[in-house]
Structure formats: structure tokens, C-alpha cells
Amino acid sequence: MLSVLRKARLKDKEMRILMLGLDNAGKTTIVKKIMNEDVTTVSPTLGFIIKTIDFEGSVDAGTSHPLSSRIADSWAATS
């Protein structure tokens, strides 16, 4: 999914991603890897964490965006 977002290269956009999953599925590990943080000391998350990630080429992946159908298709193909 991140490769699709980077290829879009739309600047000055904000994106919000909600990561949901089963316990011990690796959600925190994925976020830490994206943020280049150490993943060797990941422990269970109590409650929830809100992180702000800045990177070039971000894209609004909302349903009003022209690429939303492509993103949804890519997402479905990986499930």
C-alpha cells in the first residue's frame, strides 16, 4: 500500500490510517518500522497509540480521491 501512496507523489496532503487487527498481529511493529524505530523491544500496546508520520509523496486515500478505487483494488488483492 505504501508503494501506491509513494507513486502518487501528491504533496501537501494529509492522510489518516486506522490500523486494526488481532492481538499480537504486528500492528505496532509495522508503524515502528515505517517510523524507523527499534522493533526489538516492542511490547503489547495497552489502549491505543496515535502517531504522526511525515513522508514525501503522501496521498489522501479517502473515498473522494480519484485514486481511491485503485487503492481499494490493491488492498483487496493483498487480502
Q: What sections of 1-79 are H helices per DSSP?
A: 2-8, 27-34, 68-78
Binding site annotation covers 24?
A: yes
* 21 marked as part of a ligand binding site: yes
Nearest to 51 by CA among 33, 25, 74: 33
41 is in an annotated binding site: no
Nearest to 57 by CA among 20, 12, 27: 12
| 25 is annotated as contributing to ligand binding | yes
36 carries a ligand binding annotation:
no
Instruction: Confirm or deny that 45 is annotated as ligand binding.
Output: yes
Annotated binding site: 21-28, 45
Annotated binding site for Mg(2+): 28, 45
Annotated binding site for GTP: 21-28
